[in-house]
Amino acid sequence: MADFKKTVDKLFDSADIQINGPRSWDPQVNNDLFYARILSGGSLALGESYMDGWWDCDSLDQFGDKLLSARIDKKVKITNPYFLMNIVRAYLFNAQTTKRAYIVGTEHYDIGNDLFSLMLDERMNYSCGYWRKAENLEQAQINKLDLICRKLHLKPGMTVLEIGCGEGYFLSQFEESNCIAYEPSPEGYMAEKLGITVLHEYFSMEKSYDYEYDFPKLVVMRQVLEHIYDPLLFLRNIHEFVTTRGNQSYLYIEVPNAYLSIKDYRFYDFYYEHVSYFTVPSLTYIINKAGYKIIECAEDFNDEIIKVLAVSSHAIPNDYASNFSEKMRETRDYVLSKKKDNLKVIGWGSSGNGSSFLNYNNLNSEFISYIIDSDDRKHGKYMPGTGQKVYPPSHILVDKPDVIIIFSQFHREDIRNDIFSIVGDDTDIEIKVF
């Protein structure tokens, strides 16, 4: 038991948290089995042990903020064989059936809003928010919906079809569109109050032709595909549905990112409500297989969600293609102009975003000298294809650059803050984000 406590103390200390300490965010442990429990069960065990009264804390919000900021969840590896076996079982056995799908919906999503109102925003958005320039959950969810709408370039009067609309708050953002939805749960009646035409049943190819509505320019599936027993067949049916009704239709999908579940041993992500699990490669594969052409794919909201925008035609619209080419020219011309002025340009972030940026623009170490990354596992290594060496953030004090290009748009504000904390707010280093 002493070894368990020592390990937990060390982990929490890295987040400026002291077990049984005097500060409001310091947890007070009431059961010494707490230490072994969270080491074997991870973040879920931490929450469940709190509910069981094994520990308490005066400022749970500060406690949680410190834990997440220090990425403690990344440092705890689940070793309990029972939990690991649950992950294996989730892959090998699928207890979901068409009949059971409705039961699952009733048990989870249709239990009423008394519970969900305690944890969700006023619109009852059941997915991550977009927190840039947001000070509360309500604004974060508004930001997310606005971002998605702008990405889709919808025009007034277009028909938007959502499969699984819930209470309809996402569709309600398309104020100038003709909004139609399939929603078999009782929440669909609330969506009708928002002016949405709701079909109170599951989407199926057989019944879809019984309804007369305009050709949907956009089909939306948010947090739905993971509940589908045969996602490839389902997407093929949607593709057939739209191609028999019109020329070109867009598809927007959001699903949980299973890569994080596997990488971080998040066994609790594998449960009976989700029968299909996706990573970026597997999701893009079945979307392409179903007949769509992917326009954009991103891991968003702290990589928890995979978002895909695709089109039913095999040709990417000219405006997307031209915009992409223009952006690539812009980025390369920018770097070349700095090189011409004898300025030292470096990059921040050695992930896939950085690698794609460098290789797309054919920028080797002659143009971008080196790469900064906070992940110490990558220090001393080299970028694939272009060969830049990866250094820790402190290296910019040793070999001061003139320009820093931030490769990660999602983490750009955090990276900016990291830069300023190292070189000061009054730095003359030019910081650029593409």
CATH number at residue 262: 3.40.50.150
Hey, what amino acid is at 414?
A: D
Report the distance separating Cα 119 and Cα 162, nearest Å. Answer: 24
**Above 50 in pLDDT, residue 121?**
yes
pLDDT: which is higher, 145 or 51: 51
204 and 182 both lie in a single domain: yes
What number is the average pLDDT over the span 96-104? 60
Best-predicted range by mean pLDDT (63-72, 111-120, 373-382)? 373-382
Q: What is the per-residue pLDDT across 346-403, written as a single tens digit (0 to 9) for each?
A: 999 887 778 878 887 889 999 999 999 988 888 999 998 899 999 999 999 999 999 9
**Above 70 in pLDDT, residue 78?**
no
pLDDT: which is higher, 208 or 311: 311
What number is the average pLDDT over the span 294-323? 73
Phi, psi of 212, deg, nearest 5: -105, 105
pLDDT at 322: 59
Q: Token pair for residue 388?
A: 């830049």
Structural domain contains residue 91: no
Q: Among residues 295, 318, 341, which one ends one of the domains?
A: 318
Q: Token pair for residue 239?
A: 């593709």
Structural domain contains residue 16: yes
19 and 164 both lie in a single domain: no
Structural domain contains residue 417: yes
Q: Among residues 41, 59, 79, which one ends one of the domains?
A: 79
70 pLDDT tier (thresholds 50, 70, 90): confident
Q: Of the given ranges (17-26, 86-95, 309-318, 327-336), which has the lowest mean pLDDT?
A: 86-95
Structural domain contains residue 284: yes
Structural domain contains residue 92: no
128 and 253 both lie in a single domain: yes
**Above 90 in pLDDT, residue 343?**
yes
User: Coil, helix or strand for 93?
Assistant: coil
Q: Among residues 291, 318, 345, which one ends one of the domains?
A: 318
Best-predicted range by mean pLDDT (115-119, 145-149, 266-270, 295-299)? 295-299
**Above 70 in pLDDT, residue 303?**
yes
387 and 241 both lie in a single domain: no
- Dihedral angle at the C-alpha atoms of 396, 399, 401, 406, nearest 10 degrees? -40
User: Coil, helix or strand for 160?
Assistant: strand
Mean pLDDT for the chain overall: 80
pLDDT at 57: 92
pLDDT at 112: 66
Q: How many domains does the chain contain in total?
A: 3
Report the distance separating Cα 320 and Cα 11, nearest Å. Answer: 46
pLDDT at 91: 47
pLDDT: which is higher, 349 or 114: 349
313 and 417 both lie in a single domain: no
334 and 220 both lie in a single domain: no
pLDDT: which is higher, 105 or 394: 394
Best-predicted range by mean pLDDT (60-74, 129-143, 323-337, 358-372)? 358-372
**Above 70 in pLDDT, residue 138?**
yes
Report the distance separating Cα 265 and Cα 301, nearest Å. Answer: 19
pLDDT at 92: 47
Structural domain contains residue 95: no
Structural domain contains residue 337: yes
333 and 412 both lie in a single domain: yes
Q: What is the per-residue pLDDT across 234-261, written as a single tens digit (0 to 9) for each?
A: 998 888 888 776 667 889 999 988 887 7
345 and 241 both lie in a single domain: no
pLDDT: which is higher, 167 or 371: 371
156 and 262 both lie in a single domain: yes
45 and 160 both lie in a single domain: no
132 and 157 both lie in a single domain: yes
What number is the average pLDDT over the span 274-300? 87
Q: What is the per-residue pLDDT across 24-45, written as a single tens digit (0 to 9) for each?
A: 999 999 998 888 888 777 777 8
Q: What is the per-residue pLDDT across 1-28, written as a single tens digit (0 to 9) for each?
A: 567 788 888 888 888 999 999 999 999 9
Contacts 24+ apart (CB under 8 A), 84-93: 84/265, 84/267, 86/267, 86/270, 87/262, 87/265, 87/267, 87/270, 89/270, 90/270, 90/271, 90/277, 91/270
The domain of 232 spans 108-318
**CATH classification of the domain holding 385:** 3.40.50.720
What number is the average pLDDT over the span 316-322? 55
344 pLDDT tier (thresholds 50, 70, 90): very high
pLDDT at 255: 92
139 and 159 both lie in a single domain: yes
Structural domain contains residue 124: yes
Q: Token pair for residue 362?
A: 């054919």
